[in-house]
């Protein structure tokens, strides 16, 4: 390797791990997830899905409002190591970001789960090379395993927390502490496989979402429709995959059936959507390297 090429690669790495770059890619990931169409029972360019208080414009306002939060999270973690102090600093920044999101959406919860999931990955990304998804997820998980001693009581009474308690599933907190397996082990491989099959980028991202839905014990579905909704979503997602995914007529028909069933249950896979955004975030970083 020549000295010039080595210097160029180092400059690319520094750009990719700069907090401003990380924050921009996090916002873009939320926007790309929101705009992806057609997603089953989720907000997209067609409408609000199973959500009465959300639409695409609200999701986009929320995503843009979170840029300062993602920037602050990346800056806090830059040149740092996972620790109790860092965990609590990030938690405070996240709560401030949630307040900013709620102001931007007039009180609608557009991205509370994404602030946790993507926010932690922003912190991990500030610590590692952009193409080292394993290390990014590992550091983010190490941060998540520390307890937040200053968490408000409301953190244990949220819809997601109640679903975790009732149904004994990992939830977003467990997903983070386990190293984001639905982004790292399911999302990224599904995205790579779909691209290798020459799907359009939208098709590849939809197939990735479906793969995540098929596996995830989604607390958003459990909150809105209980085990019946979760079973319907996972069964329907597997049906899409078994029929070749959204790149086939049979797969698209199965996706339409999945959406019809979830809308009838007034349930949406919001947790899977957050993990798709996480997958797109990691993917966008590794493509910088």
The pLDDT, as a whole number, for residue 8 is 45
pLDDT digits (tens, 9 = 90+) for 248-257: 999 999 999 9
pLDDT digits (tens, 9 = 90+) for 120-158: 999 999 999 999 999 999 999 999 999 998 888 776 667
Cα separation, 245 vs 10, in Å, equals 39
> What angle (nearest 5°) sits at the alpha carbon of residue 100, between those of residues 95 and 102?
95
Q: pLDDT-derived band of residue 197, with 50, 70 and 90 as boundaries?
A: very high
CA 65 to each of CA 30, 34, 44, 96: distance values in angstroms, whole numbers, following the listed order: 11, 14, 19, 11
* pLDDT greater than 80 at residue 7: no
pLDDT at 152: 82
* Confidence bin at 9 (pLDDT 50/70/90): low
Separation between Cα atoms, residue 163 and residue 47, nearest integer Å: 26
Above 60 in pLDDT, residue 272? yes
pLDDT for 238-247, tens place per residue? 999 999 999 9
Whether 76 shows a pLDDT value over 90: the answer reads yes
Residue with the bigger pLDDT between 67 and 16: it is 67
Rounded CA separation 238/76 (Å):
40
**Average pLDDT of the residues in 189-203:** 97
Is residue 206 within 8 A of residue 39, CB to CB? The reply is: yes
Q: Residue 17 above 90 pLDDT?
A: no
Q: What are the distances in angstroms from CA 154 to CA 36, 124, 138? A: 32, 26, 27
CA distances from 194 to 123, 146, 182, 202, 261 (A): 28, 36, 16, 10, 25
Using 50, 70 and 90 to split pLDDT, how confident is the model at 2?
Answer: low
pLDDT, averaged across the chain: 93
The fold of 12-149+165-286 is Triphosphoribosyl-dephospho-CoA protein (1.10.4200)
Model pLDDT, residue 12: 52
d(CA 121, CA 131): 13
105: helix, coil or strand? coil
Neighbours of 99 (CB within 10 A): 12
With H, G, I as helix, E, B as strand and everything else as coil, classify residue 41. coil
Average pLDDT over residues 172-197: 97
- Between CA 133 and CA 29 the distance in angstroms is 15
Count of CA atoms in the C-beta half-sphere (13 A) of 186: 21
What is the torsion angle, in degrees rounded to the nearest 10, for the CA atoms of residue 161, residue 167, residue 173 and residue 175? -150
pLDDT band at 56 (very low <50, low <70, confident <90, very high): very high
Task: Please give the pLDDT value at position 13.
Answer: 56
More confident residue, 56 or 13: 56
pLDDT number for residue 141? 98
The helix-helix angle for 84-104 and 67-77 (nearest 10°) equals 170
pLDDT of residue 119: 98
């Amino acid at each position: 390797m020549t000295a010039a090429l080595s210097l160029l690669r180092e400059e690319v790495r520094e750009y990719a791990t700069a907090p401003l770059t990380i924050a921009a890619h996090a916002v873009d990931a939320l926007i790309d997830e929101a705009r992806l169409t057609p997603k089953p029972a989720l907000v997209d360019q067609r409408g609000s899905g199973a959500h009465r208080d959300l639409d695409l414009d609200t999701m986009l306002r929320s995503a843009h409002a979170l840029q300062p939060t993602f920037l602050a999270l990346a800056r806090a973690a830059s040149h740092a190591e996972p620790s109790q102090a860092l965990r609590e600093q990030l938690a405070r920044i996240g709560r401030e970001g949630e307040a900013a999101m709620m102001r931007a959406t007039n009180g609608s919860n557009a991205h509370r789960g994404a602030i946790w999931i993507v926010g932690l990955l922003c912190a991990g990304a500030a610590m590692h090379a952009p193409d080292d998804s394993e290390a990014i997820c590992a550091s983010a998980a190490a941060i998540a395993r520390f307890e937040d001693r200053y968490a408000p009581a409301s953190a244990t009474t949220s819809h997601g927390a109640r679903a975790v308690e009732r149904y004994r599933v990992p939830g977003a907190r467990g997903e983070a502490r386990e190293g984001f397996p639905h982004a790292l082990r399911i999302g990224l491989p599904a995205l790579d496989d779909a691209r290798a099959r020459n799907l359009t980028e939208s098709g590849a991202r939809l197939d990735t979402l479906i793969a995540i839905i098929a596996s995830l014990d989604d607390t958003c579905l459990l909150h809105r429709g209980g085990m019946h909704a979760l079973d319907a979503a996972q069964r329907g997602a597997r049906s899409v995959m078994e029929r070749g995914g959204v790149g086939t007529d049979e797969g698209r028909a199965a996706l339409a059936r999945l959406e019809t069933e979830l809308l009838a249950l007034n349930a949406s896979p919001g947790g899977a959507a957050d993990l798709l955004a996480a997958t797109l975030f990691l993917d966008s970083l590794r493509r910088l390297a």
